[in-house]
Amino acid sequence: MTPPPDERTPLDKIRALHQLAVEMIIRLNVILKGARIYEPNNLLFLRQVTRFLTLLRKALAEYGEASMVSRGNTLFFNNVRLKYGFSDYHFFKFVQEEFQKKQLGRITFNPEVTEDDVKTVMIIWAKGDAQAADPFAALSDEATARGVRHVTFDRMLPSDLTKSRKESAAKVFFLGMTHLEEAFESGEGREKISLGTTRRLMQSVFNHISDHESFVQGLTNIKNFHEYTLNHSMNVCILSVALGKRLGLDRNELVDLGISAFFHDFGKLDTPKEILDKPGKLDDREREIIEKHPYQGAGKLVQFKGFENLPVQAIQVAMEHHVKEDMTGYPRYFKKRTVNLFSKIVKIADFFDAVTTPRVYRTKHFTRDEALTLMLAQGRTEFHPVLLREFVKMMGLYPVGSFVGLDTLELALVVENNPDPALLLRPKVKLIADAAGNKREGEVVDLGEVDPETGKFRRTIVKVLDPGKYGIQVADYFLAQAI
């Protein structure tokens, strides 16, 4: 039973406020969607407005104020930061996007607010002119013109729009590595790792990929940060989830895929470092040891405490990620069998990340576009052809993080693929050096842009370059956006 208000502790009060606010967000989500479909006097729509108003009045009566704030990727109600679970994520995301579309930073409902005020605001908010040069001014001016007196609006701070989402994505990336390190270090005492945390981490990876796919892909340019296997596992996880999403897997499947990819090399915990990092060719004995890591990984995973939280595919992925499409590779299967879909996805992400990472023992590492060419050349013996085709499409002809030379003699980094298939060769790039070769913090330009005077594209990629040879740290650019 809820205790009477005066007996509640401050923590109880915050919890109650939080619960009320979450209900309001869910209601707001329904109203804003409804306002697009229904006429203003539709009964279903009005009923939702009344419900929202009941919650609003409750908040005003108890707390004397009711204001919602959107900052970056977080919503606040009466200064309390609202946390959401995986199942509420889409409601929150929708409402946040509605705030962003209108560049709305804060909406405040005064105690005198009327049903008409709420109804009018929702209609303007949902239907307002998407083309308006200043969507915030359009919203607040129309509300005033239509007689809304008890609702006020504040403009969103421009820096809030994207930065904090990127900051949070970068945080998840490094948190992932720390979490995996704990798992690796826990060794025999595997109690230390909580698979519940792994699951939440993967939900977060999925959310960030949904919000900012190019940026998150950009983070996979971070190489050899701390330890190779940790960094590699995080990259493989991101690329696998991004590919799975393209293939139409649902959210829960993607979380399972993320966890499976994350632990794919868990068996390397038992491989001696001298062998993992050995420059030059491995001898037969060393190769035999390294080829045990799939068995060892699967064996370790089944010993996890909280094993029931581990998707069954994680064991298969650990076992099968070096099995090729023609069933060669390792471990050898003597009976004909099929390889799990997740293993085939992880195999592609694993190969790509491995060959694009400089390692002491490799005489050459590949640029991102060379890696794709190499993978296509391996053909159907190595990878599943349909999955590979989707992967190549996802990465684009110039994958995010590619370092390119332009016909203007400028140098640039690819930061986002062009969604228009006709413009595959024309991604968005960030200029990082001028025609004279001087490094500079240039702007992001769309290579699909045409010069209206000449009718020709302003800039065109002429060459992909190796950033290492120019002393360019590609990852720094992506991290700079998040810090």
Q: Contact positions toward Fe ion, by CB under 5 A? A: 265, 350
Select 59 or 315, whichever has its Cβ closest to Fe ion.
315
Q: How far is the CB of 353 from Fe ion (least distance, A)?
A: 7
Cα separation, 103 vs 91, in Å, equals: 18
Please tell me what DSSP assigns to residue 423. Answer: G
Q: How far is the CB of 236 from Fe ion (least distance, A)?
A: 6
Select 195 or 346, whichever has its Cβ closest to Fe ion.
346
Select 148 or 243, whichever has its Cβ closest to Fe ion.
243
Confirm if 70 and 100 have CB atoms less than 8 A apart: yes
Give me the sign of the Cα torsion angle 196, 197, 202, 205.
positive
Cα separation, 362 vs 142, in Å, equals: 63
Please tell me what DSSP assigns to residue 457. Answer: B
Q: How far is the CB of 221 from Fe ion (least distance, A)?
A: 17
Q: Single out the residue of 479, 480, 481, 482 nearest to residue 222, CA to CA.
A: 479
Q: How far lies 28's CA from each of 82, 94, 101, 220, in Å?
A: 14, 10, 15, 36
Q: How far is the CB of 314 from Fe ion (least distance, A)?
A: 13
Q: How far lies 208's CA from each of 72, 249, 415, 444, in Å?
A: 13, 16, 16, 21
Select 265 or 369, whichever has its Cβ closest to Fe ion.
265
**328 phi and psi, to 5 degrees?**
-85, -165
If one counts every other C-beta atom within 10 angstroms of the C-beta of residue 273, the result is 10
Q: Quote the distance between the C-alpha of residue 446 and its chain's center.
A: 22
DSSP assignment of 264-276 equals TTGGGGGS-HHHH
Q: How far is the CB of 211 from Fe ion (least distance, A)?
A: 26
Q: How far is the CB of 232 from Fe ion (least distance, A)?
A: 6
Select 117 or 265, whichever has its Cβ closest to Fe ion.
265
- How many residues make up the chain in this entry? 483
Select 72 or 311, whichever has its Cβ closest to Fe ion.
311
Helices within 247-340 (DSSP H only): 251-262, 273-276, 284-290, 293-302, 312-320
Q: How far is the CB of 321 from Fe ion (least distance, A)?
A: 5
Select 119 or 321, whichever has its Cβ closest to Fe ion.
321
Q: How far is the CB of 339 from Fe ion (least distance, A)?
A: 14
Select 143 or 349, whichever has its Cβ closest to Fe ion.
349
Angle formed at CA 71 by CA 401 and CA 240, multiple of 5 degrees: 35
Say which residue the tokens 């390889």 belong to: 339
